[in-house]
Structure 1
Amino acid sequence: MTKPGRRPRGHPDVSPWPFVGMAGMACAFFLYAASGLVAPWWAVVALLVVWVLLFVVACAWWSLHPRWVPGLAVAAVLFWFAVVTAGGAFLDWNA
C-alpha cells in the first residue's frame, strides 16, 4: 500500500498533452468535414485526406512527442483556414 499523494513505482506520469491535442484534432475534423458548405467536393476530399495524414502523425507522436500533438492540431486548423481562405479568394469558392 502506498501513502496518499505518492505514486507507486513503475507507473510513469501520464502527460495530458496528447489528450488535449486529440481533442483539437477532433475539432479540426469538424471544420474539415463541414468545408462542403464553401468548397467543392474534390477540395473537401483533399482536405479530409490531409486531415487523416495529420491524424496518423498525431497518433505516432502520442508517445514519442506528446507535447507536439496540440501544436499539430493548431497547425491543422491554420492549414484549413489558409486553404479555405485561398480557395475563396483565388478559386471563387463561396457559400
Structure 2
Amino acid sequence: MAAHLVLLVPYASAGLVAPPWAVAGLLLVWAALLVLALVLLRGRRPVLALAAPLLAAAMWLLVLTAGDLLLGWTA
C-alpha cells in the first residue's frame, strides 16, 4: 500500500506535461486502483494487491508516453 501511495506524487505532478483533463483522468485511475488494492487486500488473495502499484506505474507511463507521441504533450 505504501508503494501505491508513493505513486500519487508522479500522478499529481503529471500536470507538468499533461493537460488538466488528462491529470484528472489519471487521478481517477489511481483512485480506482487504490480501491481495487484495498478490496484485494481484504479478500481471499491479498498477494494480488501487490499488482496494483505495478499496474498504476505502467498506466502512468503508458498514458504520458501516448500523450507525447500522439497528442504532442511536452513539458
For the criterion TM > 0.5, the same-fold answer is yes
The Cα shift of 1:30 comes to 1.1
Match status 1:54 vs 2:44: no
Instruction: State TM-score, norm by structure 2.
Output: 0.92
Aligned pairs, how many? Answer: 74
Corresponding residue for residue 58 of structure 2: 78
Question: Structure 1 counterpart of 2:23, which letter?
Answer: V
Deviations 1:10-60 (A, max 9, x none): xxxxxxxxxxxx111112211111100100000000000111111111111
Structure having the higher Rg: 1
* Partner Cα distance (1:24, 1:70) in 2: 9
Aligned with 1:44 (options 23, 27, 43):
23
Identity among equivalent positions (%) equals 39
Provide the alpha-carbon RMSD of the alignment: 0.8
Instruction: State TM-score, norm by structure 1.
Output: 0.74
Deviations 1:61-86 (A, max 9, x none): 11212111111110110010000000
Corresponding residue for residue 89 of structure 1: 69
Corresponding residue for residue 32 of structure 1: 11
* Partner Cα distance (1:58, 1:67) in 2: 10
Structure holding more helix per residue: 2
* Partner Cα distance (2:4, 2:37) in 1: 8
